[in-house]
Amino acid sequence: MELEFVYEVHTDTSVAATVRPVNPIPESVNFDTLETEGALDDVVFEVVDREKGADFYFLHPAVLVFSERVYRSDLATSFEFAGEIVPLKMKGGEKLYLLNIVYTLPLLDYEKSKYGEYDELGEPEILKAVYDISQLECVSSLFKIPENASKAIYCTTYADEHDFYRDYHAAGFTGLKFTQLLKMKMTSTSNGWELKEVK
């Protein structure tokens, strides 16, 4: 039986350039799970450390910023299921896009996980994550979890339609790294098929 995985997605700043705002991003935008609703339309961005040539760029840990090449690829369908794609206004004229992920899954077992201090957005520091894979009913392979929605992005290979992880690697894109959190497989039960964690 084929294994399925859940990963945390990070921009790899050792190869990915940084994008920064030239003028301030409105305080209403914190990239948690709310759409930006045009709040970024007047913000101008610029690329720093241009010598890095990855397909993805770093702006904030809870968004993906990517090139025109990525936008024109099969990944765009995964993006559309996950949230809103925002064309960025670039100082240098580059065509870059921001994916603001609004799709969430309650993947943490809230009672069994351990938490630290809460930040200014009301999100706790997750000290020990315990996952409830029964919640893994995916329309999108890219998602956030409510407890740290403004801090992290996740993806799974267990999704209904598009597999962001496999499509990213098949296309040879660069600029992201994936930290494996869960390994699962489908097992036969008396009630049909069930997803079980593999240790």
pLDDT in tens, 18-52: 999 999 999 889 898 889 999 999 999 999 988 89
State residue 194's pLDDT score: 66
Average pLDDT over every residue of 48-58? 93
How do the domains of the chain map onto residue ranges? 3-197
Percent of the chain scored above 70 by pLDDT?
A: 93
Q: 166-183, pLDDT tens digit by residue?
A: 999 999 999 999 999 888
Cα angle, residue 96 at apex, residues 85 and 21 outer, rounded to 5°? 95
Average pLDDT over every residue of 117-136? 83
- Quote the mean pLDDT of the chain: 89
Q: What is the pTM of this model?
A: 0.89
**99 near 128, Cβ under 8 Å?**
no
Task: Tell me how crowded residue 126 is: count the other CB atoms within 10 A of its CB.
Answer: 17
Residue 143 clears pLDDT 80, i.e. is over it: yes
SS3 track for the chain: CCEEEEEEEEECCCCCCEEEECCCCCCCCCCCCCCCCCCCCCCEEEEECCCCCCCEEECCCCEEEEEHHHHCCCHHHHHHHHEEEEECEECCCCCEEEEEECCECCCECCCCCEEEEECCCCCEEEEECCECHHHCCCCCCEEECHHHCCCCEEEECCCCCCCHHHHHHHHCCCCEEEEEEEEEEEEEECCEEEEEECC
